[in-house]
Amino acid sequence: MAIKRVLTYGTFDLLHYGHIRLLQRAAALGDYLIVALSTDEFNALKGKTSFYPYEVRKEMLEAIRYVDLVIPEDSWEQKAEDVREYHVDTVVMGGDWAGSDRFEFLRDECELVYLDRTEGISTTQVKKGLRIEDAK
Protein backbone atom coordinates (compact mmCIF):
# COMPACT_ATOMS: atom_id res chain seq x y z
CA MET A 1 0.00 0.00 0.00
CA ALA A 2 1.39 3.39 -1.01
CA ILE A 3 2.07 6.05 1.58
CA LYS A 4 -0.24 9.04 1.24
CA ARG A 5 1.86 12.21 1.38
CA VAL A 6 0.46 15.56 2.47
CA LEU A 7 2.16 18.93 1.95
CA THR A 8 1.43 22.32 3.50
CA TYR A 9 3.11 25.71 3.24
CA GLY A 10 3.64 28.48 5.74
CA THR A 11 5.86 30.77 7.77
CA PHE A 12 4.93 29.28 11.16
CA ASP A 13 6.33 32.23 13.07
CA LEU A 14 5.44 32.56 16.77
CA LEU A 15 4.16 29.00 16.79
CA HIS A 16 0.75 28.78 18.49
CA TYR A 17 -2.11 26.32 19.01
CA GLY A 18 -3.74 27.32 15.71
CA HIS A 19 -0.62 26.14 13.90
CA ILE A 20 -0.56 22.90 15.88
CA ARG A 21 -4.20 22.18 15.09
CA LEU A 22 -3.66 22.89 11.39
CA LEU A 23 -0.69 20.51 11.33
CA GLN A 24 -2.64 17.86 13.24
CA ARG A 25 -5.58 18.07 10.83
CA ALA A 26 -3.28 18.07 7.79
CA ALA A 27 -1.40 15.02 9.10
CA ALA A 28 -4.71 13.19 9.61
CA LEU A 29 -5.33 13.39 5.84
CA GLY A 30 -2.40 11.10 5.07
CA ASP A 31 0.52 9.09 6.36
CA TYR A 32 3.41 11.52 5.91
CA LEU A 33 3.30 15.30 6.44
CA ILE A 34 5.73 17.62 4.69
CA VAL A 35 5.89 21.27 5.70
CA ALA A 36 7.36 23.74 3.22
CA LEU A 37 8.61 26.50 5.50
CA SER A 38 9.05 30.00 4.10
CA THR A 39 12.69 31.04 4.21
CA ASP A 40 13.69 34.43 5.60
CA GLU A 41 14.61 35.52 2.07
CA PHE A 42 11.21 34.50 0.66
CA ASN A 43 9.44 36.25 3.54
CA ALA A 44 11.38 39.41 2.68
CA LEU A 45 10.14 39.17 -0.92
CA LYS A 46 6.58 38.92 0.47
CA GLY A 47 7.20 41.96 2.67
CA LYS A 48 7.12 39.89 5.85
CA THR A 49 9.58 39.66 8.73
CA SER A 50 9.62 36.71 11.10
CA PHE A 51 10.41 37.01 14.78
CA TYR A 52 12.40 33.76 14.61
CA PRO A 53 14.88 33.00 11.82
CA TYR A 54 14.27 30.11 9.44
CA GLU A 55 16.53 27.62 11.25
CA VAL A 56 14.75 28.16 14.59
CA ARG A 57 11.29 27.88 13.00
CA LYS A 58 12.46 24.70 11.24
CA GLU A 59 13.74 23.23 14.52
CA MET A 60 10.41 23.91 16.23
CA LEU A 61 8.41 22.32 13.40
CA GLU A 62 10.67 19.25 13.37
CA ALA A 63 9.92 18.76 17.07
CA ILE A 64 6.17 18.45 16.41
CA ARG A 65 5.08 14.84 16.20
CA TYR A 66 2.71 15.45 13.27
CA VAL A 67 5.53 16.74 11.03
CA ASP A 68 7.67 14.22 9.17
CA LEU A 69 9.78 16.51 6.98
CA VAL A 70 10.47 20.25 6.73
CA ILE A 71 11.66 21.67 3.40
CA PRO A 72 12.45 25.28 2.46
CA GLU A 73 9.91 27.38 0.59
CA ASP A 74 11.97 29.78 -1.53
CA SER A 75 9.40 31.00 -4.07
CA TRP A 76 5.75 31.00 -5.07
CA GLU A 77 6.65 29.07 -8.21
CA GLN A 78 8.13 25.95 -6.60
CA LYS A 79 4.84 24.32 -5.58
CA ALA A 80 4.20 22.07 -8.60
CA GLU A 81 7.83 20.96 -8.51
CA ASP A 82 7.50 20.14 -4.78
CA VAL A 83 4.41 18.03 -5.47
CA ARG A 84 6.25 16.02 -8.11
CA GLU A 85 9.60 15.75 -6.27
CA TYR A 86 8.07 14.58 -2.99
CA HIS A 87 5.28 12.48 -4.59
CA VAL A 88 2.59 14.51 -2.84
CA ASP A 89 -1.01 13.31 -2.96
CA THR A 90 -2.64 16.24 -1.14
CA VAL A 91 -1.74 19.89 -0.58
CA VAL A 92 -3.42 21.41 2.47
CA MET A 93 -3.74 25.13 3.15
CA GLY A 94 -5.68 27.38 5.48
CA GLY A 95 -9.14 28.37 4.31
CA ASP A 96 -8.09 31.98 3.77
CA TRP A 97 -6.21 30.75 0.66
CA ALA A 98 -9.34 29.12 -0.89
CA GLY A 99 -9.68 30.05 -4.54
CA SER A 100 -6.24 31.68 -4.71
CA ASP A 101 -4.29 31.41 -7.96
CA ARG A 102 -1.26 30.68 -5.77
CA PHE A 103 -2.68 27.18 -5.12
CA GLU A 104 -5.63 26.40 -7.42
CA PHE A 105 -3.34 25.38 -10.31
CA LEU A 106 -2.17 22.46 -8.15
CA ARG A 107 -5.50 20.69 -8.74
CA ASP A 108 -3.91 19.46 -11.99
CA GLU A 109 -1.17 17.75 -9.93
CA CYS A 110 -2.88 16.50 -6.74
CA GLU A 111 -5.81 16.88 -4.36
CA LEU A 112 -6.14 20.36 -2.86
CA VAL A 113 -7.77 20.80 0.55
CA TYR A 114 -8.47 24.02 2.41
CA LEU A 115 -8.93 23.77 6.17
CA ASP A 116 -10.65 26.42 8.26
CA ARG A 117 -8.34 28.36 10.52
CA THR A 118 -8.66 27.91 14.28
CA GLU A 119 -10.97 30.64 15.56
CA GLY A 120 -9.63 33.10 18.09
CA ILE A 121 -5.92 32.79 17.25
CA SER A 122 -3.54 34.08 14.60
CA THR A 123 0.07 35.17 14.49
CA THR A 124 -1.14 38.73 13.94
CA GLN A 125 -3.21 38.52 17.14
CA VAL A 126 -0.26 37.10 19.07
CA LYS A 127 2.00 39.91 17.84
CA LYS A 128 -0.57 42.54 18.86
CA GLY A 129 -0.99 40.92 22.27
CA LEU A 130 2.75 40.90 22.86
CA ARG A 131 2.85 44.67 22.43
CA ILE A 132 0.87 45.03 25.66
CA GLU A 133 3.25 45.73 28.51
CA ASP A 134 2.95 43.74 31.72
CA ALA A 135 1.42 45.69 34.60
CA LYS A 136 3.91 46.09 37.43
Question: Which superfamily does CATH assign the domain made up of 5-130 to?
Answer: HUPs (3.40.50.620)
Rounded distance, CA 47 to CA 68, Å? 28
pLDDT band at 134 (very low <50, low <70, confident <90, very high): very low
Residue ranges covered by each domain of the chain: 5-130
Indicate which residues carry an active-site annotation.
46, 48
CB 57 within 8 A of CB 49: no
pLDDT tens column, 11-43: 998 887 788 999 999 999 999 999 999 999 999
Higher pLDDT among residues 50 and 31, named by residue:
31
